[in-house]
C-alpha cells in the first residue's frame, strides 16, 4: 500500500504575518517557515499506520518553492520514505485552482492508494484543496475526519457534526482530510534526521509533470492590498459612580445592546 500525504510549508503561526504590498502575496520571509501542524498530524497518521503494516510506503507530497527543502526533510526525518516536491517559477503565487492542478499531476505519478491531508492550512485557511484534488483525480473524498482506521480496501472514521459525531466508511483509493483532533506529530529523532539525508527527494517541474505552464491562468486575482490600519486607542471607564452607565452607553454606541 502507498499513502501520499500532502504537506505544506507555512509561516510560523507564532511569528509575524505580513503581506507583500507590491504583490498582495504573503511575505513568507517575515517569520520562520515550518510544516503546517495539521499536515504533520496527517503525516503522523500515515507513518503510524505504516509501522503496523510494513509493506506500506509513505510519500510526502508538497507544492513549495525550492528553498523549502529543509522543511520537507522534516517529513523524511519523521518517517516518510520519500518526498515529491513540485517547484516551478510559474507557480509563484498560485491560487487554489492552480495548486490543485499541479498537486493532482504529481499524485498521478505517485499512484497512491490513499491521499491524506490536513483539513485547513494555517496560512490560507480555505480548506478546499482535498476536494479539488479529488475532483481532478476522480476519487471519493471524505473531509474533516477526527479518527481514521484502514482495513483491506476500506477506510472508516469519525467526524464531528453539530450535536455529536458521525461514522463514515469509504472505499480505497480515496482522498481524506484530517483535523487537529488527530494525535500530535512525533518529534524527529537523531537517527531519523540522519536517515533523512539518504532518502529519495524528487523535485519536479511542471514540464516534468506534463503540465503546460502557459495554460495555468489564475482564476482568482488580488485587486487591492493595503497595510492594516494601526489599532486605535481604547476607551477608559473611570468608576466615579457612573461606570455602569458609561459602559452601557459605550456598548449601545457600538450596537452591542
Average the pLDDT over 220-227 and give the result.
71
Q: Set out the domains of the chain in order of their start, with CATH numbers.
A: 2-215 (3.40.50.620)
Q: What pLDDT band is residue 24 in, cutting at 50, 70 and 90? A: low
Mean pLDDT of 90-94: 83
pLDDT score of 180: 93
Cα(100)–Cα(124) distance, rounded to whole angstroms? 14
Q: Residue 16: is its pLDDT beyond 70? A: no
**pLDDT recorded at residue 92:** 82
d(CA 82, CA 87): 16
pLDDT at 237: 83
pLDDT for 123-180, tens place per residue?
A: 777 889 999 999 999 999 999 999 999 998 899 999 998 889 999 999 999 999 999 9
Percentage of residues of the chain with pLDDT beyond 90: 58
pLDDT of 239 higher than 70: yes
- The larger pLDDT score, comparing residue 42 to residue 220, is at 42
- H/E element, 142: strand 141-145
Cα angle: 94, vertex 97, 100; to 5 degrees: 90
What is d(CA 34, CA 68) in angstroms, rounded to the nearest whole number? Answer: 9
Q: Residue 215: helix, strand or coil by DSSP?
A: helix
What does the mean pLDDT of the chain come to? 89
For 6, half-sphere exposure in the C-beta direction (CA atoms, 13 angstrom radius) is 29
Query: Which residue in 199, 7, 174, 208 sits closest to 106, CA to CA?
Result: 208
pLDDT of 81 higher than 90: yes
Whole-number pLDDT of residue 30:
63
Residue-wise pLDDT for 101-128, tens only, equals 999 999 999 999 999 999 988 777 788 9
- CA–CA gap between residue 29 and residue 74 (Å, rounded): 19
* Whether the bond into 173 is cis, omega within 30 of 0: yes
Q: Given a cut of 80, is residue 243 above it in pLDDT?
A: yes
Q: Which residue has the higher pLDDT, 136 or 95?
A: 136
Q: What is the pTM of this model?
A: 0.81
Amino acid at each position: 500500500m502507498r499513502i501520499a500525504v500532502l504537506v505544506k510549508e507555512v509561516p510560523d503561526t507564532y511569528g509575524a504575518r505580513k503581506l507583500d504590498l507590491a504583490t498582495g502575496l504573503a511575505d513568507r520571509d517575515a517569520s520562520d517557515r515550518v510544516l503546517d501542524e495539521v499536515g504533520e498530524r496527517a503525516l503522523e497518521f500515515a507513518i503510524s499506520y505504516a509501522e503496523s503494516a510494513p509493506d506500506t510506503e509513505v510519500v510526502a507530497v508538497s507544492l513549495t518553492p525550492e528553498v523549502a527543502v529543509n522543511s520537507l526533510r522534516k517529513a523524511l526525518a519523521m518517517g516518510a520514505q520519500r518526498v515529491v516536491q513540485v517547484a516551478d517559477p510559474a507557480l509563484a503565487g498560485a491560487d487554489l485552482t492552480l495548486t490543485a492542478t499541479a498537486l493532482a499531476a504529481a499524485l498521478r505519478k505517485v499512484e497512491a492508494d490513499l491521499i491524506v491531508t490536513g483539513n485547513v492550512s494555517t496560512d490560507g485557511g480555505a480548506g478546499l484543496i482535498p476536494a479539488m484534488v479529488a475532483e481532478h483525480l476522480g476519487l471519493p473524498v471524505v473531509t474533516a475526519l477526527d479518527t481514521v482506521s484502514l482495513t483491506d480496501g476500506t477506510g472508516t472514521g469519525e467526524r464531528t457534526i453539530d450535536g455529536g459525531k458521525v461514522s463514515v466508511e469509504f472505499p480505497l483509493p480515496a482522498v481524506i482530510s484530517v483535523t487537529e483532533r488527530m494525535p500530535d506529530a512525533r518529534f524527529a529523532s537523531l537517527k531519523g534526521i540522519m536517515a533523512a539525508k539518504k532518502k529519495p527527494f524528487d523535485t519536479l517541474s511542471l514540464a516534468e509533470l506534463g503540465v503546460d505552464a502557459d495554460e495555468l491562468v489564475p482564476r482568482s486575482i488580488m485587486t487591492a492590498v493595503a497595510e492594516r490600519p494601526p489599532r486605535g486607542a481604547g476607551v477608559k471607564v473611570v468608576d466615579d459612580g457612573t461606570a455602569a452607565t458609561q459602559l452601557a452607553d459605550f456598548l449601545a454606541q457600538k450596537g452591542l445592546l
